[in-house]
Each structure stands twice: as C-alpha cells, then as structure tokens.
Amino acid sequence: MLRNGQEYLESIRDGRTIFVGKEKIVDPTRHPAFAGAAKTYAALFDFKADPANRDLLSYEEEGERYSMYYLRPRSLDDLRRRSRAHRAIAEFGYGLLGRAPDAMAGNITGLAMNATYLDSEVGGSGTNVMANWDRMRREDSFATYAIVPPPAARNPEYYQSKGVAQPALRVTSENDAGVVLNGMKMLATGAAYANEVLIGNVMPLAPDQRKESITCIIPINLPGLSLWARPPFNWSSVRTFDAPLTTRFDESDCVLVFNDVKVPWERVLVHDNAALSRNMYINTPSHVLANHQSNVRFGVKLRFLVGIASLVTRATGARDIPAVRETLGRLAAYEAGYQGMIAGQLEDFISTEQGFALYNRRYLYAAINWAMENHSILIDTVRELMGGAHFQFPASVDVLERPELRTAFESLWTAGAQNALDRMQLFKLAWDLIGSDLASRATSYEKFFVGPAFAVRNYSFMYAPWDEFHAIAEGLMARDALSQGSDARFRA
C-alpha cells in the first residue's frame, strides 16, 4: 500500500527525541529547522502515490502494490524499472536527498535477494531479513541507516583500563524478548524524517568486537533512543527565494544515542558475528543495489549542476567566450560519461546464483569513485564560472518590500534584457547549490557517504579481474619466449 504525504507526516509524529544542541524537538514536522524538509518528503510521498506515476514508481506482486524500490529484480527489465524509479525520485529532490526512501530500501532489498546467506552463518537471520523486507514494503516504510562507530571505538583498551563506558554501540544484555543496546552510532542522515533505521557496520570489525556486531532495524521512537543533530541549516527564518534549496532539502544528520534501548529479536538481523555484520552487504546484492540509487541520484544532481553552470554563464554574458564554451563542453562530457557509466551497468548486468539480476558491480564502484574524485572539482568549476556575482546581490529579496529600495534595485541590478529579480533568483539558487552551508555539507557528503576514498578504491581493487589484466602482458611475454625456443627469448 502506498502512503500519501499526510499519512507520512503523521507517521513521524511518533514521539521521537531529537536534540538540536540543548533544545529538544519531538515533532520535526512543525519545527522551523525541520518542517521544510518534512514537507518535501511528504510531497514525495504524494508524488509516488499519484496514480499518474503508478507504473513508474511502484510495482504489483500478488495483488499488492509496493514502492518500486522494494522490487527484487529478476531481469534486465526489472533493473531498468528500478533505475527509472530512482531517477524520478532523484529528480524530485534535484539529486540533493542522499537518503531518500529509495536509498536504504536498496540495502534491505539486496539482502532479501540472498537471505539464505545470512541463515548460513552463525548469528545471522535470513528469516528476519525476509520478514522485515516484507513488512517494510507493506508499510511503505521510509528507513535510513547508521553504520559507523564513534571514532573512539578504535581503542577499546583505553576504556577498559579507565573503567569508562565504551561509546561504541553494543549489546549490553539480552533475554528472551531481545537485546538491550547502549552507546552511540554514526551518522544517521535523514533519521529525523525516517520511520526506522538500520543499525549495523559497514567497516570491518575486529573479531573480538562481537557485541558491536548487532545489526537490526528499529523504529526511531524507541524509548531510550535520542537523535543528536548537527546544526540545521534551515534554522533561521530565511525566505525560500533567498535559499531555495536550504529551505527544502536539508536532510539532516544525527548521531544516535542509545540508553538501554530494547530491541525485540524479530528486528535483529545479525548478532554476535563480527565478520558477518560487514560481509552481509558485500556477499549479497545489498551494497550494489543500494549504491545504484546513489549513482542515479548523483547523475541527476550532475545534470542540475551543469544546467546551472550554463544558465549562470548565460546570465553573465560569458557563455559565448570560447574558453567558457569549452568548459561547458567539458562539463557536458562529464555528465554524459557519468550517465554512460550508469547505462553500462544495465548492458553488462550480472545474473546472481539466486536467479536475480544485478547492476554491473565494477562500473558501479567506478561511478562512485568518479563522483568522489570529481565532485569538489565540479563545484569549484561552477564557482569559477559564477565569479563574485552572488555577492553583488542584496542580502534578501525583501528589498522589494520597500519602494525606494525596490526602485533602486530594479533599475541598477537589471542587466540589459535580464531583469534584476530574475538574475537574483538565479544567483541565489546557484549559490545555494554550490556555496551555502547546505552545499558545503553536500561536498563532504559526496566524498564520504560510501566511506573514505581508500575504501571506495578498495571495492574497485577487490573486484578487478587482475588475472585477466596480468594475462595480457604475460601472454605477450610468453609468446615471445615460446616462439624463440625455451630459454631463448633473448635471441630474437
């Protein structure tokens, strides 16, 4: 069943606890720092529930209709359907919502494509994977994840010797009902707006970190759970015109703090198995399926960015300068190349042993690596194309409310045929995309949301067909050796 926006908004008025500094917030839909983005997500639910978008954004199975991002793909066509849905959702959010509902849905659906793997390992529960996946799609749930330990977790000896509580989230006790969790978990993007959150580990744990291996999917409003938000960007009463993205798309990032939080067994996917808690993403389609969403989302953002770059140069009159035209051509080449890397994941898709279809893994990690390496450069390029233009506009569009200021503004800031207000709207938008707090956080996000650079490159290293690559040169060298008689290659 597909929820509408109103139903979604009500579902997150569930008594959750969010701290913004010392301020406690329980209803993000009504607090100025959160209401803007909540409204955006609600509109997304309406968009998805709209019958006009039925085939694009949902699928039917056994008489029930589910959001497309819960579809387990069995064919190239299924993969294309998922890609199209991701694209529509990303376009709705201009590629700015990293953790839209279709993100974490890829993780759980990917697990559900090889749930028996979890059953085959001690402490894993494929049964719970399947049950939660099915529940989530039925509830049309919006979930997110928090899968990184606090930095201090690296040095457990310290805490033992000092008798201080280890901050890393862990199972501190367990009984028939389930486990009890204490500690903290980083960094739940979107948690302020989500219904539930996957707790787990994306980086390898040490073998003795069994208690930290707990992997579960829990509601945000569990007693004892609190969300500690980083500074919201939409906190002050900025006008939409002056910050058209910040006022709508601040998805928020929260640290999760657990204080004797009780989690029932049916929500637990992994318990007491350090290796499994990480490998589950790699040894199932989970990581790939989830990250295809991030590929598509970034591709949409890239189109937005390239479009802004072009509009900005048109507004400054620089678009016809050869060097600027070449820069735009290069940006367009990057955009096309990135979309090519996504399309290639379909052409060279993989069939899994479980009978499912999966995006090409190597191209997917290549696209992530590309985005990670180039996002800052792209932003910097647009910054250069903008020059100081943004700083030359008044602090706010409210200048229009005072007639004498309005007159001055409209006569002086107009540039040829472009009226002052249109120009200002464009530059405020461009700056909100590349220069604002929201933009700066996005720059860090694009660099790290899959993990640090070495981890991303490690995925590429892991899946590279080194034997094939080596065979090329080795074949040439061997041929030379053979054609010249044993031990006589040097005589050629």
Site residues for a copy of itself, window 272-311 (CB under 8 A)?
303-304, 306-308, 310-311
- d(CA 113, CA 284) in angstroms, rounded, equals 7
Q: Shortest approach of a copy of itself to residue 54 CB, angstroms? A: 22
* Rounded CA Rg of the chain: 25
By CB under 8 A, tell whether 1 contacts a copy of itself: no
By CB under 8 A, tell whether 35 contacts a copy of itself: no
Name which of residues 393 to 412 contact a copy of itself (CB under 8 A): 393-402, 405, 408, 411-412
Q: Shortest approach of a copy of itself to residue 184 CB, angstroms? A: 5
- d(CA 70, CA 105) in angstroms, rounded, equals 6
Name which of residues 149 to 208 contact a copy of itself (CB under 8 A): 150-152, 154-155, 158, 164-165, 167, 183-184, 186-187
Q: Which residues contact 336 (CB under 8 A, 6 or more apart)?
A: none
Contact 354, 114 (CB under 8 A): yes
Q: Shortest approach of a copy of itself to residue 256 CB, angstroms? A: 11
- d(CA 48, CA 93) in angstroms, rounded, equals 13
Number of residues that bind a copy of itself (CB under 8 A): 148
| 10 vs 158 by CB, closer to a copy of itself | 158
By CB under 8 A, tell whether 52 contacts a copy of itself: no
Name which of residues 240 to 279 contact a copy of itself (CB under 8 A): 240-242, 244, 253, 255, 257, 259
Name which of residues 54 to 93 contact a copy of itself (CB under 8 A): 91
Where does residue 305 fall: left (phi above 0), alpha (psi -120 to 50 degrees), or beta otherwise?
A: alpha
Q: Shortest approach of a copy of itself to residue 50 CB, angstroms? A: 16
- d(CA 284, CA 290) in angstroms, rounded, equals 11
What is the crossing angle of helices 286-316 and 76-92, to 10°?
40
- Distances, alpha carbon 10 to alpha carbons 247, 251, 336, 392, in Å: 21, 18, 41, 42
By CB under 8 A, tell whether 413 contacts a copy of itself: yes
Name 320's bridge partners. Answer: none
How many CB atoms neighbour CB 395 within 10 A?
7
Per-residue burial over 263-278, b = 16 or more CB atoms within 10 Å of its CB, e = otherwise: beeebbbbbbbbbbbb
Q: Please provide residue 170's backbone torsions phi and psi, each rounded to the nearest 5 degrees.
A: -160, 165
Q: Shortest approach of a copy of itself to residue 148 CB, angstroms? A: 8
Q: Shortest approach of a copy of itself to residue 239 CB, angstroms? A: 5
By CB under 8 A, tell whether 348 contacts a copy of itself: yes
Name which of residues 311 to 340 contact a copy of itself (CB under 8 A): 311, 316-317, 322-323, 325-326, 328-330, 332-337, 339-340
Name which of residues 433 to 472 contact a copy of itself (CB under 8 A): 435-437, 439-441, 443-445, 447-448, 452-454, 456-461, 463-464, 466, 468-472
Q: Shortest approach of a copy of itself to residue 193 CB, angstroms? A: 16
The residue from 46, 346, 350, 352 that contacts a copy of itself (CB under 8 A) is 346
By CB under 8 A, tell whether 47 contacts a copy of itself: no
The residue from 57, 276, 367, 378 that contacts a copy of itself (CB under 8 A) is 367
Q: Shortest approach of a copy of itself to residue 445 CB, angstroms? A: 8
Q: Shortest approach of a copy of itself to residue 255 CB, angstroms? A: 6
Contact 300, 307 (CB under 8 A): no
Q: Shortest approach of a copy of itself to residue 46 CB, angstroms? A: 15
The residue from 10, 119, 207, 230 that contacts a copy of itself (CB under 8 A) is 230
Instruction: State whether residue 321 is helix, strand or coil.
Output: coil
- d(CA 312, CA 209) in angstroms, rounded, equals 52
Report which of 253, 185, 290, 291 is spatially closest to residue 445, judged by C-alpha positions. Answer: 253
